[in-house]
Amino acid sequence: MINVLIVEDDFRIAEIHQQLLESIEGIQVVGKALRAEEVHGYFQKERIDLLLVDIYMPDQLGIDLVMDLKKTYTDLSFIMITAAKDMEILERSVKAGAFHYLIKPLQLQKLQEVIEQFKKRKSILESDKPVEQSLVDQLFSKHSFETQQQETLPKGVNALTLSKVMETMTDFSEGTTVEEIGEQIGVSRTTARRYMEYLVSIGKMKAELEYGIVGRPERKYFMV
């Protein structure tokens, strides 16, 4: 199990990230820190394998927090998430050993892709296999998770559109219909239904029948 700590001052964003992370097998969110000062306490209580950290925290820059932590936890792995377009921040993050650097507004599909890449790397590095070129090639593979996922998706379902549907669904905590989702992402009712029914089939979404004013049943979808 990979223990992840989310460092994000917007509790709504932190909650969305937690829901996504906990839907990934082998990932456990041990906490959400809304301020940098809270992070040190988590490290004293938990084993933290990966830090998901925003740059602009109210009390300290995320990269400065990481640099402080790495004085004690030299093997700390971290992913920076930020709206900053400052090259200096990017350069500091790379030099500090960031596993990845994600720009807001963050696509949830991209976050999932990066987490899967992290899992893959961690699995390889912790294996007891002899180091051969094929293993090294896997470690440095440029074959993205998005490409791998597209290869496993059914005909008519695109990875990018699927990601957009899932991201849009986070705005509908009370559930929604295919018409609403279609309007939000700019696709037809038929296309929206195809993606939502696919998400139902893989357990990411559930559907219920609701009756309107005239008594006609309507299929309503909810994220699981």
Output the pLDDT for position 121: 86
Q: Could you tell me the mean pLDDT of each successive run of 10 residues in the chain, 224 residues long?
A: 95 92 92 95 93 94 94 92 82 89 85 89 84 75 50 76 84 89 90 92 88 71 88
CATH class of the domain at 2-149: alpha beta
Q: What is the strand order of the sheet 50-54 is part of? A: 27-33, 2-7, 50-54, 77-82, 100-103
In the chain, domain spans:
2-149, 159-223
**Alpha carbon distance 116, 7 (integer Å):** 19
Q: pLDDT tens digits, residue range 30-52?
A: 999 999 999 999 999 989 999 99
Which residue in 92, 99, 110 sits closest to 77, CA to CA?
Answer: 99
In degrees and rounded to multiples of 5, residue 217 shows phi and psi of -70, 145
Which residue in 84, 118, 128, 90 sits closest to 103, CA to CA?
Answer: 84
Which residue in 66, 50, 42, 72 sits closest to 3, CA to CA?
Answer: 50
Output the pLDDT for position 5: 97
The pTM for the full model equals 0.61
Output the pLDDT for position 105: 80
Pick the CATH number of 159-223 from 1.10.10.10, 3.40.109.10, 3.20.20.70, 3.40.50.2300: 1.10.10.10
Output the pLDDT for position 214: 57
DSSP string covering 177-208, please? Answer: -HHHHHHHHT--HHHHHHHHHHHHHTTSEEEE
